[in-house]
Amino acid sequence: MKQTIIIYICIFSAIALGNLYLSSLRKKAKVTEIKGIENIVLKFSDVKTKLILNRSESISDLIKLLPIEGKMRQAGGKISLKLSKPITSNPVKVEKVYKGDIMLSEDDTLIIYLEEQNVNRMYTKLGKVLLIDKLEEIKDVDEIEVSINKG
């Protein structure tokens, strides 16, 4: 009987310590709640595709700018669009990008890559275009009208 009680005390102590540890981790990790992040779409020509966006302060700022409309310029296997105002950036060194990657250059220019490339730049990673095959349609176009909005 004593052994059973000691085992129960050990189990409950371990559970309590585990919960205490998890609670401290949650306080340290900044959990970002962004409403509407799953319904952001990119439209160009007759194409409409969802964007898969990272949960970050940059995305929260980007959503506040919606709708975003303008002409994206294509050069060097990527299209870019200057934002109406700067957003929060957290640049990291990026050495390789993939087709459909969405990056923030500086703090005011959205870039969508149309092909895989080796790069050596500082970018804030924002997310990815869901239907990357649709990007083929604009690969040879110098300038294209786009809109980014809640879908």
Decide if pLDDT at 147 tops 70: yes
What single-letter amino acid sits at 82?
Answer: K
Whether residue 109 has pLDDT greater than 80:
yes
| pLDDT at site 26 | 42
Mean pLDDT is lowest, of 30-39, 42-51, 65-74, 130-139, for 30-39
59: which DSSP letter?
H
pLDDT recorded at residue 1: 62
pLDDT at 78: 92
- 135-146: b or e for each residue (b if 16 or more CB lie within 10 Å)? beebeeeeebeb
Global pTM value: 0.75
What is the token pair recorded at 67? 């709708």
Q: What is the pLDDT of residue 28?
A: 40
Find the helix or strand (DSSP H, E) in which 7 lies: helix 2-28
Binned at pLDDT 50, 70 and 90, residue 104 comes out as very high
Peptide bond into 67 cis (omega under 30): yes
**Helix boundaries (H) for 29-143:** 57-64
